[in-house]
Amino acid sequence: MSSSTQENRPLLNAPEPGNDAEVGRSTDSQTVEDHPKPEETSEDGNRGLTASFHHIDDAHQQTTNCETLIHLIKGNIGTGILAMPDGVKNSGLYTGTVMLPFISLICIHCMHMLVGCAHELKERLGVSGMDYAEVGYNAFSTGPAPLRPFATTARRVLNSFLTLTQLGFCCVYVVFIAANVKQVLAPFSLLSNVFLGLGLAITFHYLLKDIPSSYDRSEFKSWKQLPLFLGTSIYAFEGIGVVLPLERKMTNPRDFRGFNGVLNTGMVLVTCGYIAVGFFGYLKYGDAVHGSITLNLPPSDNLAQMVKVLMALAIYLTYSLMLYVPAEIMWPHLAPRFHSTKAKCLGEYAFRAFLVLLTFVLAAAIPNIGLFISLVGAVASSTLAIIFPPIIELVTFWPRISRWGIAKCVVIFTFGVICFLTGSYASIQAVIEYFQHSDDPQPRFVC
């Protein structure tokens, strides 16, 4: 990573790697005419069933490498980092510390897989940019002939899980950098970053105070609770939906990939933060740790109370950004039911209000935030972050993909399915047991 004194030069430089070793460039003359063209953008700017924001002129929304790095880190660090001590509690101190980098490596590689497929499909179809759901649609529509009829289904499934994930996150900052949204909400996003940074810094002040011996903590908890850790970890690392929009808006997209590119740099920093909070949070509070580490801070300490206020403000200021994606995905299906402009406007306001109320109801239904995070991570995050990328890569590069590439995709897919099944079962079972044996639920999530 190198710096430059020139204002218009990228701050993070990394050459874009070629295709992965397991995927070679096609030697046959594959032309755009061989494949169906991507669907045209409709008049209102929505592309079919996909929430696309790249129809806005890219010249007015380019970001520097440092800006992209900040957005990437913020897109991955939210409520998940506050739940990491609870996740480590379910795995054991050293088991969780060792497994977190492993899960991070898989999630980061899946992000690279998705970006690589997007590049291949953009060259194949001659389009300027795609989001996650469009990559899935175009991979199937230009892939093996037997799979092409499933292109629309693939896009619908991806959009459904994107919507489910965003609604489940409720407090996770995931934003597609569109000029109209950025201009209005960027100051609030920056303010939330400041609040979040201050809150984490003060939290570490308490975590590093009077640390007990690691001998007092479990090295490995149990196989029964391990899936809960997997769900929490994958939830925390689920920033895959933001990588394509971030790369597309960069001044120099070539710096996004590569060994020391923006993606790897940002995700390594995120991983270090997760490990630190998870390790020291569980080391400090042990099995008494809550679903959010802020709930363990001294209730009588004014500084600790300020942390909770800062975190609550940080999430509150970015809540509208979190709901932006599901609203943009689902509203185009409802808009045709309203005929006049005024009716459409009122209908959209009512729909967005309904989404807000829905998230409140879901949060109230499962007051234990640790179990809720684990459930969302197992059901939605594992699907988007681990299961879909290898499927898309296989379909995109078939039949040119090597045997090593096929084996790699199968292994990652299998791991994702295991996380989905075991995590979902363990989380649902834990939620049922929580309501059966708890007359006085834990404090509700406040940040």
Q: How many residues does the chain have?
A: 447
CATH number for the domain that contains residue 417: 1.20.1740
Please count the structural domains in the chain.
1
Asked if residue 2 belongs to a domain, the reply is no
Asked if residue 302 belongs to a domain, the reply is yes
**Torsion sign over Cα 227, 233, 239, 240:** negative
Asked if residue 120 belongs to a domain, the reply is yes
Region 423-446 average pLDDT: 68
Q: Which residues contact 163 (CB under 8 A, 6 or more apart)?
A: 325, 326, 329, 330
- Banded model confidence at residue 117, pLDDT cuts 50, 70, 90: very high
Asked if residue 20 belongs to a domain, the reply is no
Full DSSP string of 207-222:
HTSSPPPGGGS-S---
Query: What pLDDT is recorded for position 447?
Result: 38
Q: Global pTM?
A: 0.71
Full DSSP string of 314-354:
HHHHHHHHHHHHHHHHHHHHHGGG--SHHHHHHHHHHHHHH
Asked if residue 404 belongs to a domain, the reply is yes
Region 114-124 average pLDDT: 90
Does the pLDDT value for residue 391 go beyond 90?
A: yes
Least confident window among 145-154, 155-164, 188-197, 394-403: 188-197
Q: How far apart are CA 396 and CA 399, in angstroms?
A: 9
Asked if residue 3 belongs to a domain, the reply is no
CB atoms within 10 A of CB 425: 12
Q: How far apart are CA 429 and CA 417, in angstroms?
A: 18
Q: What is the mean pLDDT of the chain?
A: 74
- Structure-token match 């059966």, residue found: 436
Helix (H) or strand (E) segment spanning residue 237: helix 226-237
CB burial string 385-412: b at 16+ within 10 A, e below:
bbbbbbbbbbbbbeebbeeebbebbeeb
Q: Give me the percent of the chain exceeding a pLDDT of 90.
A: 11
- Domain ranges, residue 423: 50-437
CB atoms within 10 A of CB 251: 15
Asked if residue 431 belongs to a domain, the reply is yes
Asked if residue 6 belongs to a domain, the reply is no
Query: What pLDDT is recorded for position 292?
Result: 76
Least confident window among 25-34, 184-193, 322-331: 25-34
- Structure-token match 């940074």, residue found: 197
